[in-house]
Structure 1
Amino acid sequence: MDFYLKEGGVRTKLAYGELDISGNEDYGYRPFQLMVASIVGCSASVFRKILEKKRIKIDDLKIEVEVNRNPDQANRIESLHLNYIVKGYQLNNERLEKSLEIARKNCSMIRTIEDSVKITESLDIIPLNK
C-alpha cells in the first residue's frame, strides 16, 4: 500500500476508491475510526462465514461498539466492547455463542491487537416470529 501526503492528512488508492485519513474529520476518516472499522469488519465477516458453514441462517446482524480511549496517553484505545445483535427465526443461543468464540479466534484484526487492547463481546438475540 502506498500513502501520499495531502492537505490535512494522507490518501491512498484502494480497489474501491480513494481513502483519506486525517486526525481532523474535515479532511478524512480518523485513524481510530478505521481501526475500529477494521476490527468490526473482520469479526463480522468471519462470524458470518462460520454461521454459513454451520448452516445457521440469520436475518440481520448489527454490531454496536463502545470505544474507551485514554486522553492521558495520546487518546490510546484502551478497550472495545462489541455487542452483536442477531435477528432470526429459531436461533440457538449456545450455537451462536460458540460461533462467536470461533470467530474471535480466527479474526486476524482482533488477534493482532488483543494483547494491547481489551476486547469484550456480548450477544443479543432478537427472535423473529413466522
Structure 2
Amino acid sequence: MSDGRKVVDVVAAVIWQDGRYLGVRRPEGKPMAGAYEFPGGKIESGETPQMALTRELREELGITPTAIAFFREKAHSYEHLSVQLHFFHVRAFAGEPLPLEGQDMEWLTPQEGRLRPFLEADRDIVDALALEES
C-alpha cells in the first residue's frame, strides 16, 4: 500500500557499551537537526541491511561492528517520506566512536534515553529498551 510518499530503507544501530547505548544528535543543517537518533542510514542498492550498517557506522563513527544482531523492523511515515527501519543491536565493535559528521554523541542508560528528544520513528524503540531494562 503506497500513499505516494517515497519509501526509504534504513538501518539503525543500538550500539552498547557498559550498559549504555549511543545516542547521536543530528547536526545543524540536517533535516530534524537537534533530534536524537540511533546511528545508521540508507541501505544502498545491492547492499544487505548488515552491509549497510557496517558501511554507515564506519562513515559516521569510524567503527566496525563485530557483533550484529537483528532487533526489530518497523515502518514510519513522516510528512515528506516513509521509512522502513531495520534496527540491530551492536554489542561489540572495533575502534572508538568519533563524531565524524559533526554530530553530538552521548552514551545513555536506557532510562536516560527516554529523557532525550529522539526522532519520532525511534521513540517506541527507546521505550522498549527502557522496559527491557526495568
Q: TM-score, normalised by structure 1?
A: 0.28
Q: TM-score, normalised by structure 2?
A: 0.28
Question: Between Structure 1 and Structure 2, whose CA radius of gyration is higher?
Answer: 1
* Higher-RCO chain (CA-CA 8 Å, sequence separation at least 6): 2
Higher helix proportion (structure 1 or 2): 1
Between Structure 1 and Structure 2, the one with more strand by share is 2
